[in-house]
Structure 1
């Protein structure tokens, strides 16, 4: 390894151990989608029988792509743009595409954290009152009609916590990879597990909890013949593992060269799915209680996303014994899970600009986080913030993350033929060896599954405007944002690299070690 690359690695920093890396990777993977998306997706797609396509998707889509991301970052020792550039000049735009995707997600993700923080406080007094839906969309968010467009009418109840969230993120990011990201993950992930396990235990003792769990896990075997169920499983695994948009590429670039990456990947993959199953039990135990209290079927109260978190759960807490405690545990868990995920998302952008322009940690953090924070606050702390968030989230996930993943496989796997090299690299120190089966899965099975997911989403999109929003608003914050990420990614790839940055692929760790040994022996002789 050249002195130039070695110096760059030292400047970038890294995780001090494999354990810290695993905590950080789990922190990124375990996010809001685990808590409010998985339970409903499982319920809607066959309940107990959904575990078959879910586990299949984990093994043949999620973990293989996680290894793909790990290999890119660990071999190249760089951020996504630098990694892609080192693997081929034409690939650099994919890395910058990843960066813009993360920029967009960070913009709206911070708003959800602000809501979760506020609702944690609201839980002490159940401030949402007897009508949580009216409180959430009316008194709290003051949501404007979608036809009004972007209003720029700020909502203080959202603005203030958003500013505090961004200040906290900036502080963590300036501390660096180990002292900031790693330390936060080591503290927050155990705290999240303790809080959520406590929440689940409390939920299990609610009247009707068993009915909710039965509703979640009762199998509908006929669903296994439905292709959309298998596509839903791929989508859930893909989005929940934080793969496909450079987070794991970036984190893997901070790991020591002789680290067991495949063993780490298995730990992260199964830990993420384990938390999802735990979330499913906790959420549906609570929904079973609500259904019993309202004397309706569980299906009548089952929902997902923002409505589950900020409407259904407050409704449950109004009826539940010790509702204040459950509320603090639930919304506190949402906040903690979101913080570790947001940190990982922002790090993708910071790392890219550090590598491109040879910037210091603090300088790059301020250069990146201040613009993201300003856009986030201006767009999302207003009365139109919810509408912007909902549309951007839908389109940047489907036509940003998934499409970029397909393109990266085609570029590196088909045209670049890098997959055998990736398998060899990860197998060298990995406890789980990769071979032709992994190469075949990544090269053929994954693209087919992800293209099917894209086509399914696209057919839904063109059949009717998403969620009934005005088409012009969808064109701006949906299609416009998704397409703009590609265009901006290409333009950023045209900017010249700092001359101090090596664009060559670093030599493998074992080659560097052997060369050093030879040089030492020659000097001794």
Structure 2
């Protein structure tokens, strides 16, 4: 008789609805609000919706299904799920974990900025006409790394709210998947939706709002002939849906065995896109008002990222009647969207160490979050924080997320030949079958799109030093960080798994899933121990 051992009970979401809200909370982040509107505007306005929807249907949702299938079938964090697929694939999981480590330390500071600006909006602290100077000089106290090097000068108005953000997310993470992450998303996501809906309605009644909407939606059909526009659409979708860096693999591992995976994926994918389009309407309605107030065209005030959030929107708040309400709603929405995304990023790290070491939830959470909070404070509550954030974000997105996505798809589809197994898993548990079309999209189209994007980014950043930063700076926070992610991923995969961890050192978990020892009904199934293969042969 085959010897098996029962793994410690794995945490789980309370219901499919909680999972869907949590997955949407992860996907709906800062980029939905401050990046998508400008990307769409630059990509041809209304015409951009065509490549955007194509990218969503042919790459975003198929890769979302891939993450769901891996996490749900192999029942683990990213390193454990990839290891159970094949021992040699474990480094892919740790690569994804380390990407989340990098993102977490700077993502928290943007949430802290948004929290402070929620307070500033209520009082118009920056003063009319001083929005840009207030953000860069008074608030951040930004210094040029080319002149001062890496600064250690503490900026209290950034550091103090950053401590608050970390304390809040540490409590949420320590409470676990059901009482912490699930409960937080059940509260924050409805609040975020209501706040943003009110913000959009407020923006639509501003003078000049229609000019902004015309700029946003008027199609430039010639843009569809530009390959860069299509590449931009695919690139945005990869980042927007939180695919390929461990989040959805981890979240789906907390689902019950009999869960509609593809139906859930469609809800998450289209909810995320719906929020982005809503954000585009609200943002460009407000930018239309700003353009009319300044007597310029909308393209004269349209911007993306930090400039949109912390310079353009405060300007709108200063000029609009009832602007304080708009500011509180906008920055409050940023805070909620940021927190729901940040806890999903941290969960990838916590779950991985919990699986690897077999520690309990609170201990693992503290071991993960306290060092990350210290690093976050050390790097991003100083006068050179903005330069570090800008560089790290650009390189981890291009050569972290995009690179690991490309390698993972090639490994899973072409080296391990796991797509047929994953198709069968999806089809058995879902409301509709994905079939051969999904294998074609994941195995052929996704690698081609990712490869094109990665090569384009590589050529751009080699040709011209990013942001005009010094070579030593890019070497540490750009190229050096990218190489370190891969090397550390390999080293972590070489470490032994804890004796009481969730992982059992079975070289072929697929074989176990097909064996008589596998019971698909319980939330936690028996998993063979390291000695199980030899005991099977003796039996």
TM-score tier (shorter): over 0.9
Q: What is the distance in 2 between the residues matched to 1:223 and 1:236?
A: 16
TM-score normalised by the chain length of structure 1 = 0.96
Q: CA deviation at 1:86?
A: 0.6
Q: What is the distance in 1 between the residues matched to 2:333 and 2:4?
A: 43
Q: 1:497 corresponds to which residue?
A: 497
Following superposition of structure 1 onto structure 2, how do residues 184-203 of structure 1 map, counting pairs within 5 Å?
184-203=184-203
Taking only aligned residues, the RMSD between alpha carbons, in angstroms, comes to: 1.5
Q: 2:140 corresponds to which residue?
A: 141
CA-to-aligned-CA distance 1:139-195 (integer Å, 9 cap, x gap): 000001121221111100000000111011110001000000000001100000000
Which deviates further from its counterpart, 72-81 or 498-507? 498-507
Pick the aligned partner of 1:100 from 92, 98, 123: 98
Q: CA deviation at 1:463?
A: 2.2
Q: CA deviation at 1:472?
A: 1.7
Q: 2:165 corresponds to which residue?
A: 165
CA-to-aligned-CA distance 1:330-373 (integer Å, 9 cap, x gap): 00000000000000000000000000010000010011101111
Q: What is the distance in 2 between the residues matched to 1:402 and 1:509?
A: 33
Q: 2:118 corresponds to which residue?
A: 120
Q: What is the distance in 2 between the residues matched to 1:21 and 1:37?
A: 25
Q: What is the distance in 1 between the residues matched to 2:273 and 2:444?
A: 24
Q: What is the distance in 1 between the residues matched to 2:520 and 2:162?
A: 51
Q: What is the distance in 1 between the residues matched to 2:347 and 2:228?
A: 34
1:53 to 1:182, Cα distance in 2 relative to 1, 3 A: same
Q: 2:131 corresponds to which residue?
A: 132
Aligned to 2:195, what secondary structure does the other structure show?
helix
Q: 1:428 corresponds to which residue?
A: 428
Aligned to 2:499, what secondary structure does the other structure show?
coil
Aligned to 1:13, what secondary structure does the other structure show?
coil
Aligned partners of 2:257 and 2:521 also within 8 Å: no
1:349 to 1:230, Cα distance in 2 relative to 1, 3 A: same
1:494 to 1:271, Cα distance in 2 relative to 1, 3 A: same
TM-score normalised by the chain length of structure 2 = 0.93
Q: CA deviation at 1:499?
A: 2.8
Q: What is the distance in 1 between the residues matched to 2:304 and 2:337?
A: 17
Which deviates further from its counterpart, 129-138 or 111-120? 129-138
Q: What is the distance in 1 between the residues matched to 2:345 and 2:295?
A: 42
1:514 to 1:149, Cα distance in 2 relative to 1, 3 A: closer
Q: What is the distance in 1 between the residues matched to 2:4 and 2:251?
A: 21
Following superposition of structure 1 onto structure 2, how do residues 449-488 of structure 1 map, counting pairs within 5 Å?
449-488=449-488
Aligned partners of 2:257 and 2:520 also within 8 Å: no
**Please, which runs of 5 or more residues in structure 2 have no aligned partner?**
523-539
Aligned partners of 1:93 and 1:493 also within 8 Å: yes
Q: What is the distance in 1 between the residues matched to 2:284 and 2:246?
A: 32
Following superposition of structure 1 onto structure 2, how do residues 19-168 of structure 1 map, counting pairs within 5 Å?
19-130=17-128, 131-147=130-146, 148-168=148-168
Aligned partners of 2:409 and 2:443 also within 8 Å: yes
CA-to-aligned-CA distance 1:210-262 (integer Å, 9 cap, x gap): 00011011111111111110000001111010001000000000000110010
Q: 1:519 corresponds to which residue?
A: none
CA-to-aligned-CA distance 1:90-141 (integer Å, 9 cap, x gap): 1111111111100000000000000000000001111111211100000000
Q: 2:287 corresponds to which residue?
A: 287
1:298 to 1:439, Cα distance in 2 relative to 1, 3 A: same
Q: What is the distance in 2 between the residues matched to 1:4 and 1:47?
A: 58
Q: What is the distance in 2 between the residues matched to 1:252 and 1:515?
A: 16
Aligned partners of 1:82 and 1:503 also within 8 Å: no
Aligned to 2:497, what secondary structure does the other structure show?
coil
Aligned partners of 1:49 and 1:218 also within 8 Å: yes
Q: What is the distance in 1 between the residues matched to 2:71 and 2:465?
A: 38
Aligned partners of 1:5 and 1:502 also within 8 Å: no
Q: CA deviation at 1:509?
A: 9.5
**Please, which runs of 5 or more residues in structure 1 have no aligned partner?**
517-525
Q: What is the distance in 1 between the residues matched to 2:428 and 2:149?
A: 54
CA-to-aligned-CA distance 1:426-454 (integer Å, 9 cap, x gap): 11120121111100110010000011111
